[in-house]
Amino acid sequence: MPKIGVFVCWCGSNIAGTVDVEAVSEAMKTVPGVVFSTNYQYMCSAAGQKMIADAIHEYHLDGIVVASCSPRMHENTFRKTAQAAGLNPYMVEIANIREQCSWIHKDKEEGTRKAIVLAKAAVAKLLHNQPLQAGTSAVTKRCLVIGGGIAGIQTALDVANAGYEVDIVEQRPTIGGRMAQLDKTFPTLDCSACILTPKMVEAAQNEKIRIISYAKVEKVEGFVGNFRATIRKKARFIDENKCTGCSLCMQKCPSKKGRDEFNMEMNNRPAIYIPFAQAIPNVAVIDPEQCIKLKSGKCGLCEKVCSAGAINYQQKDELLEREYGAIVVATGFRPMDPSPLNELGYAENKDVITSLELERLMNAAGPTKGTLLRPSDLKHPREIVFIQCVGSRCDENTNRGKPYCSKICCMYTAKHAMLIRDKYPDTNVHVFYIDVRTPGKNFDEFYRRAVEQYGVDYIKGMVGKVAREGDKLMVRGSDLINNRQVEIAADLVVLATAIEPDPSARSIGTMLTASMDTNDFFTEAHAKLRPVESPTAGIFLSGVAQGPKDVPETVAQASAAASKVIGLLAKDHLVTNPCVALSDELLCNGCSQCEKVCPYGAITYENREVRGPGVREVRRVARVNPAVCQGCGACTVTCPSGAMDLKGFTNQQIMAEVDAICL
């Protein structure tokens, strides 16, 4: 019988408070196989680990059980401890007596009883453990970045500058993302394009970076280090290599009714267009919904004026298959549609706009060439009302919006108010707010400047109704500080709408099997300690895809994600999980049932000579590729003969646990 040591951790008072650790370690001494049992204040500490190592040497232990916190916390720690002491790391089992015992039970007697059962179950399992050897798999030294906004660009640049290839897949015709649509950035008020476009150019010129725009990732297979992605590059009807971006075609195109997505659809664009002057790639694209030639076969003007001969009406979608070692999700956000909040009248009134629409209205390249004119009649607005928290911070039982704070609205609203007061001092600006949230370097100073220096009227309260009266928008809201209701006859109302993940995020999350929260933001592997990694190995998170954040935070996170990617790609081989399926050829019927349920295609069949007691014949048997198998165990249950088993979670191990718990 193997010699087993049991180590019961107090975790300070976390465990010892509701579990009699002394009683547990005493009780374990009577369990068959256990030759040593002790308890200590912090098993994970250096002293605790030394205690384990010493016991392994002194008692010649074959395996250890640590009764402590969740294995998700310290399983690896103790495996390393065991390995350093000469034990196979897979001869370690953890009994989770903190998260699943001491923390959920108040009665000490009851907690102690349960802790003993859990420790016994771990010993029962351990008695069936086999030493396992981890294999290795090669790493494809290329990174896929999904999304070409500032997050994706920054990650791509950092990874490329470390010497690895990067593909950026962007769904729109150009990279740049939301930041390209912004006019100025807080708190320094430098022009967004001025700081973003050089980065876009840098990405385009970096020979390690390949920008695949107007494309989407359709399928991802494989696992960390060895992903294979299928990318659909949509037909632009333009030869990207020939187009010079001269934009002559745009001027000649007779179909000018396309909505300009870049300008938040506040003006029209031609059917053939370049989203904006600094687009990367600076190449036109034809909107097949608007193009007369593609719809009716007539026209063809652009083809005639294009001296480069870049127009190709026959172009088809193209499928690319590429291999990657790591994938970064940088899918970003969009503003929430405020139309359902009908008291704010966004759907009915042209002069009720969202903040991102205001960005375009204030931008020199926007629909009004940078002069602030209200959309309905192109007059200068004299009274402007900003409403904060539109669709943010809502209770989930209401249908009014998101439960989270969108984080950036307080600051950009202060920015808008300040810029307007600076440029048009004769304009009154009122801001309805619930709280002004300005955590960030120089952020509160910025907000105070808007109030103190620029005289922006901050009203603590919310707007109950926006109604049109003549050419005015009557805004009625509460002024909680003065305990009164106010009514403002405004010319323009700006809604600081909540931001939500890009609608493509959900399907990408499913494709990558990367977990997401209920709001469709990607979940990080650990909220505090692993904020840029997905729990799915090899998937990293960059920018707003993970949660609302502003530009500096996005860039910081993008670089952090890049450093994680670089850390992965720098390895030639990854140590694979040894807990993979294994088929016993003596039992295998070769019936092909297991192959059907394997999500990774890790099982193949071969005719092989099978030798065993009284057996020597050629049989069709299953074979598992341990580098591809991820150890889910689907095959083990499908196998009627029990030939297929899962290392680390064998039938015998699990049944031993069941027995220990039930008896």
Partner 1 sequence: MDQNTRFLTETVLRISGVDPRKCMKCGKCSGTCPNYDAMEYHPHQFVSMVENGLIEQLMNSNAVYLCLGCMACVERCPRHVAPGKLVGALAQLKLRKQDGNHKGGNDIAAMADEKVPQQLLMAAMRKYRK
Partner 2 sequence: MKKIKARALSLLADGTVKRVLGWERGEDAFDCSPALFENEAEMERFVYGTCAGANLSKYCVKMGKAEGKTLVILKPCDTLSFRQLLHEHRVERDAFYIIGAGCTGMMDENGLLAKCAACKGKEFAVYDEIIDTEECRLPTGTEKRMEQVEKLENMTAQERFAFWQGELSRCIRCNACRNVCPACTCIKCVFDNPGSGVQSKAPVTDFEENMFHIIRAYHVAGRCTDCGECSRVCPQGIPLHLINRKLIKDMNELYGDYQAGLGDNERTPLTSFTKEDAEPGIIHERGNG
Partner 3 sequence: MSVSNTGWTPKIVAFCCNWCSYAGADLAGSGRMQYPADVKIIRVPCSCRVNPLFILRAFERGADGVIICGCHPGDCHYTSGNYYARRRMTMLFSLLDYLGIERGRTRVEWVSAAEGAKFAKTMNEFVETVYTLGENRKLRDIRCRK
Residues near partner 1 (CB under 8 A): 343, 389, 393-395, 397-398, 400-401, 432, 434, 460-465, 476-480, 483, 485
Residue 41 contact partner, candidates partner 3, partner 1, partner 2, none, CB within 5 to 8 A by sort of partner: none
101 binds partner 3 (CB under 8 A): yes
**How far is the C-alpha of 286 from the C-alpha of 270, rounded, in Å?**
9
Q: Does 586 bind partner 2 (CB under 8 A)?
A: yes
State in angstroms the smallest separation of the CB of 34 from partner 3: 19
Q: Which member of 2, 17, 370, 590 binds partner 2 (CB under 8 A)?
A: 590
Q: Say which entry of partner 3, partner 2, partner 1, none residue 393 contacts (CB below 5 to 8 A, set by partner kind).
A: partner 1
- Cα-to-chain-centroid distance, residue 70: 25
Q: At what angle do helices 108-126 and 651-662 cross, to 10 degrees?
A: 150
Helix runs in 349-408, H state only: 355-362
- Of the candidates 194, 481, 655, 661, which one interacts with partner 2 according to CB under 8 A? 655
Instruction: State yes or no: cis peptide before 281, omega within 30 of 0.
Output: yes
Q: At what angle do helices 71-84 and 46-59 cross, to 10 degrees?
A: 50
Q: How far is the CB of 638 from partner 1 (least distance, A)?
A: 47
Out of partner 3, partner 2, partner 1, none, what residue 389 binds, judged by CB under 5 to 8 A for its kind, is partner 1
Query: What is the four-CA torsion angle of 71, 75, 76, 80, rounded to 10 degrees?
Result: 180
If the CB atoms of residues 45 and 592 are measured against partner 2, the closer one turns out to be 592
Which one of partner 3, partner 1, partner 2, none interacts with residue 483, CB within 5 to 8 A by kind?
A: partner 1
Q: What are the structure tokens assigned to 308, written together?
A: 């480069």
State the Cα–Cα distance between residues 210 and 149, nearest whole angstrom. Answer: 15
| In the complex, minimum distance from the CB of residue 611 to partner 2, in angstroms, rounded to a whole number | 14
Is residue 230 a contact point for partner 3 (CB under 8 A)? no
Restricting to residues 633-652, name those near partner 2 by CB under 8 A: 638, 640-642, 651-652
Residues 6+ apart with CB under 8 A from 644: 581, 582, 583, 584, 588, 594, 622, 624, 635, 636, 638
Residue 619 CB, nearest distance to partner 2 (Å)? 8
Nearer to partner 2, 486 or 632 (CB): 632
Is residue 128 involved in binding partner 3 (CB under 8 A)? no
- 649: contact with partner 3 by CB under 8 A: yes
- Compute how many residues bind partner 2; rule: CB under 8 A: 21
| In 379-529, beta strands by DSSP E | 383-390, 428-433, 457-460, 463-469, 472-479, 484-490, 492-497, 499-501
As a whole number of angstroms, the distance between CA 264 and CA 254 comes to 22
Torsion of CA 516, 321, 318, 245, to 10 degrees: 80
Cβ proximity to partner 1, 387 vs 419, nearer residue: 387
**Is-contact 145 157, C-beta < 8 A?**
no
**Binders in 538-577 for partner 3, by CB under 8 A:** none
Residue 475: CB minimum distance to partner 1, A? 9
Tell which residue, 229, 211, 178, has the closest CA to residue 539: 229
Binding site for partner 3 (CB under 8 A): 70-72, 96, 98-101, 103-107, 110-111, 113-114, 117-118, 121, 510, 513, 515-518, 523, 535-536, 579, 597, 599-600, 630-634, 636-638, 646, 649, 651, 654-655, 657-659, 661-663
Binding site for partner 2 (CB under 8 A): 586-593, 596-597, 605, 617, 619-620, 638, 640-642, 651-652, 655
